[in-house]
């Protein structure tokens, strides 16, 4: 992560970041307010305060997704705010349609709750409660700006909720659509249809953005790429169906001894094709794993080459049987950030399985299918 990315809070164990590009948005809002014909200190102040309210609303929206996912036992790594919105990095998307539906709806639901709270505050202040696009344009032009700010924020939350509910997969509404389709169709087919519709929306966003708001162009690109990624993931998963880790087993396991040093690991990394190593104790029992990333990290943290591997390696090995489903292995690898899973039968190590070997297996599989 860039050093301009700011960690602003940690809520319920989930770190919340402002991505470095977010400062561009702040600059844009500040400058466009400052150079508008109504540029008074008051005007710029209320514009920036509206941005703060909006950011808090988006973070709460993402926390809605995160808490719903948590209820199904799915952790969230972090929430990052980009100029075009927030992204909650949920460890995985639930495969059960009902669960995906609930997690997708939890975000917009938070915005509707916020609107309720804002309306109650307005009513307590003796003001009527309604949405007002006019307030958005008037904000900062004098006269009781606090209530105008409340109207503006409620309206922004309404726009946020409705925009997110558009069936533009993988935005929230698109996830709802996929979940509904997946209740009737195979998961991969449901994803392909939802992704196609999502990319249609993405093109519309980009075209509309050219004539109105540049952030709509950003959102369009984001949706287009993300839809393609999710379709690819679903297709990959589908291709793994019916296979076990035995099919993608890497039998020649690169190993290191726990008595060796970081220097030995660096030499082996440079002199071989291996990207990660299984660390064995003197009896030949597996005690840890060491990946290229861990070696680099250890060096950048100031560890010397004479450091024993036991201080650098990851001691949490994940072990599976050769009959373990391949798609589950793939999910474990990406969810747990492990370089590989150790495949054992009884006490015997058969080999390891990593994402690269799984990808290779799938490519071979596909090439043979195309030939047939
Ligand atoms: Zn959302």
Distance 120 CA to ligand 1 centre (A): 24
pLDDT digits (tens, 9 = 90+) for 28-59: 888 887 887 777 788 888 888 888 999 999 99
Asked whether residue 185 falls in the same domain as residue 120, the answer is: no
Contacts of 72 (CB under 8 A, 6+ apart): 94, 99, 102, 103
Residue 246 has pLDDT above 70, yes or no: yes
Residues 131 and 172 in one domain: no
Q: Which of 142-151, 217-226, 249-258 has the lowest mean pLDDT?
A: 142-151
How far is the centre of ligand 1, averaged over its atoms, from the C-alpha of 324 (Å)?
Answer: 33
Centre of ligand 1 from the C-alpha of residue 185, in Å: 24
Over 90: is that where the pLDDT of 159 sits? yes
Structure tokens at 179: 């979940």
* pLDDT above 80 (res 143): no
101 C-alpha to ligand 1 centroid (Å) = 12
pTM of the model: 0.77
* 310 plus 161 within the same structural domain: no
Residues 174 and 301 in one domain: no
pLDDT-based confidence at residue 249 (cuts at 50, 70, 90): very high
Classify 303 in phi/psi space as left (phi over 0), alpha (psi -120 to 50) or beta. beta
Average pLDDT over residues 5-20: 90
Residue 97: alpha-carbon gap to chain centroid: 19
Tell whether the torsion through CA atoms of 26, 31, 32 and 38 is positive or negative: positive
Q: Is the pLDDT of residue 138 over 80?
A: no
Indicate if 221 and 90 belong to the same structural domain. no
On whether both 5 and 136 belong to a single domain, the answer is yes
Residue 62 Cα to ligand 1 midpoint, Å, equals 6
Domains of the chain: total:
3
Owning domain of residue 173? 167-237
184: β partners: none
How many angstroms is it from 107 CA to the middle of ligand 1?
5
């Amino acid at each position: 992560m860039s050093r301009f990315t700011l960690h602003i809070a940690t809520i319920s164990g989930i770190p919340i970041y402002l991505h470095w590009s977010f400062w561009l948005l702040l600059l844009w809002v500040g400058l466009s307010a400052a150079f508008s014909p109504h540029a008074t200190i008051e005007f710029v102040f209320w514009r920036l305060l509206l941005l703060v309210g909006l950011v808090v609303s988006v973070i709460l929206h993402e926390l809605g997704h995160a808490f719903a996912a948590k209820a199904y036992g799915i952790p969230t790594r972090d929430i990052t705010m980009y100029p075009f919105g927030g992204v909650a990095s949920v460890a995985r998307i639930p495969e059960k349609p009902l669960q995906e539906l609930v997690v997708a709806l939890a975000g917009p639901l938070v915005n509707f709750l916020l609107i309720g709270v804002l309306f109650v505050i307005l009513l307590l202040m003796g003001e009527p409660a309604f949405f007002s696009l006019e307030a958005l344009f008037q904000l900062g032009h004098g006269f009781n700006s606090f209530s105008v700010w409340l109207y503006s924020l409620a309206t922004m939350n309404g726009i946020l909720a409705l925009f997110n509910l558009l069936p533009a997969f993988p935005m929230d509404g698109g996830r709802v659509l996929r979940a509904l389709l997946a209740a009737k169709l195979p998961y991969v087919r449901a994803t392909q249809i939802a992704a196609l519709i999502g990319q249609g929306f993405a093109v519309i966003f980009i075209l509309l953005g050219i004539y109105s708001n540049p952030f709509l162009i950003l959102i369009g690109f984001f949706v287009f790429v993300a839809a393609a990624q999710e379709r690819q993931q679903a297709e990959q998963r589908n291709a793994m169906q019916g296979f076990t880790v035995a099919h993608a087993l890497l039998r020649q396991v690169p190993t290191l001894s726990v008595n060796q040093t970081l220097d030995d690991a660096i030499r082996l990394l440079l002199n071989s094709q291996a990207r990660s190593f299984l660390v064995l104790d003197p009896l030949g029992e597996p005690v840890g794993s060491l990946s290229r990333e861990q070696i680099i990290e250890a060096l950048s943290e100031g560890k010397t080459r004479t450091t024993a591997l036991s201080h650098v390696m990851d001691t949490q090995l994940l072990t599976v049987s050769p009959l373990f489903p391949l798609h589950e292995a793939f999910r474990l690898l990406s969810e747990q950030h492990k370089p590989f899973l150790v495949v054992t039968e009884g006490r015997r190590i058969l080999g390891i399985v990593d994402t690269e070997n799984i990808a290779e297996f799938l490519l071979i599989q596909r090439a043979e299918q195309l030939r047939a």
